[in-house]
Structure 1
């Protein structure tokens, strides 16, 4: 960032120097010590008289960086589309034949994931034509990992319906995640808590978590929630209205 700003300021300084009539000094390799000193004076004078140049340079740099990041994210999604949208193991809800797909990387202990939960549900259920994919990415400690293992084990034992029940319950759960609390949760949905618990540490569950974590690393995902909507990575929590507007834009 410093080099980019310096480059912008340098251009402004060169303009000031040119306006001052020192055309010879435009070639820095030809400057004498005295001319270099004078150049420094001209730079300082220009910036003191035109301080807005600094903010213009910063704003332009930030815009350039945002544009570059957006393009990089588009490339990442395109290069990893199969793993993102059709991995063969992640839960697929909403309308499996929907015309637009939203993928969420989430953690059950993430406050912003919990905040987004009801809004994502509202979007998916209210629209009726969204394919919704959930990717378990426990990154907030041991309880996050235990919760994700339990949810994935539920999917393997009880199918998508059982998974959705546990997923929704965990997204609304604010207590400590323990074997006891998870067992009670499973029983509240008439699920086989013992079978799910036994499955939690299986190779299948471990493999799913490892694949999702590896994909997150490839996509440079460092926080939850992170969404993928069609071709775009959306990093962080987004309110309902903003997600809906992006979705409508994708549909054209």
Structure 2
């Protein structure tokens, strides 16, 4: 008799739970239930989830999808708010096709292994698609050696121009030693640059200002790692091979 009474009570609680779940969200008020009904309601939910654990996975997957969509939309808005400084700041090196219909912006660090892996991928992308404009953002975040390398590269750009900057940029990407005053001077001399002018220019106010402005831009975009790419209005956080980058470019072209 006790077992039958308990079963009937559980059935009634389950029926009440189903009724509440089918009702508008505002009608589901656990505080209005008796302690007994609330306990039975929770027991039914637990029993359902134990019998159907895939529901939890489905809920987690849906939550992750919604979070990803929200983050992607937030990134689109951040890019739109900072678009001019991203694509035409007046100081960042521009390569590829300067008149291309798609602009790819890369935030990079010379000491970043994935940035080094990205270089041939980007080169392949530019070779395959002659209508891409590439903008390089010096974003040294991996310690003093990174900062020193970026200061050197930017100083070369100020002293010797964009072509010399590209040479130094490529050399620093492949550089396996420790960047210091001696090794960087040797690199400048090896490329036929005015090493004294470059080394003296590394701490020039305009070099510091350029790096500070790029860092501030990255902070506004909530960029904390390298490489990070911006393809038109899409922000891509991390390394992508050329074929995947090409798909993003194609989507942007519509």
Same fold (TM over 0.5): yes
* Alpha-carbon distance change, 154 to 19 in structure 1, aligned in 2, over 3 angstroms: farther
Within 1, Cα distance between the matches of 2:245 and 2:119? 12
Cα 1:18/1:244, change in 2 over 3 Å: farther
Deviation at 1:84, TM superposition (A): 0.6
* Cα deviation, residue 29, structure 1: 3.1
CA RMSD of aligned residues (A): 1.6
1:202 corresponding residue in structure 2: 204
TM-score normalised by length of structure 1: 0.90
- Higher mean C-alpha deviation, range 226-235 or range 183-192: 183-192
Bigger Cα Rg: 2
51-60 or 184-193: bigger deviation: 184-193
1:43 to 25, 29, 45: 45
Q: 1:225 aligns with which of 207, 224, 227?
A: 227
TM-score w.r.t. structure 2 length?
0.89
Shift of 1:19: 9.7
Match of 2:170 among 161, 168, 171: 168
Alignment of 1:1-252 (within 5 A): 20-22=14-16, 26-252=28-254
Change (3 A) 1:167 1:41: same
Q: Deviations over 1:92-139 (max 9, x none)?
A: 111111111000000000000000011111212332211110000000
Answer yes or no: is the 8 Å Cα contact 2:13–2:41 preserved in 1.
no
1:231 Cα deviation after fit: 0.8
Distance 1:242 1:18 in 2: 56
Instruction: Say if 1:143 and 1:18 are closer, same or farther in 2 by CA, change over 3 A.
Output: farther
Provide, for residues 21-76 of structure 1, a one-character-per-residue CA deviation record: whole Å limited to 9, x for no partner.
Answer: 12576542320111111112111111111101110010000000000011000001
Gaps of 5+ in 2: 1-10, 21-27
How far off its partner does 1:18 sit? 9.4
**What secondary structure does 1:109 align onto?**
coil
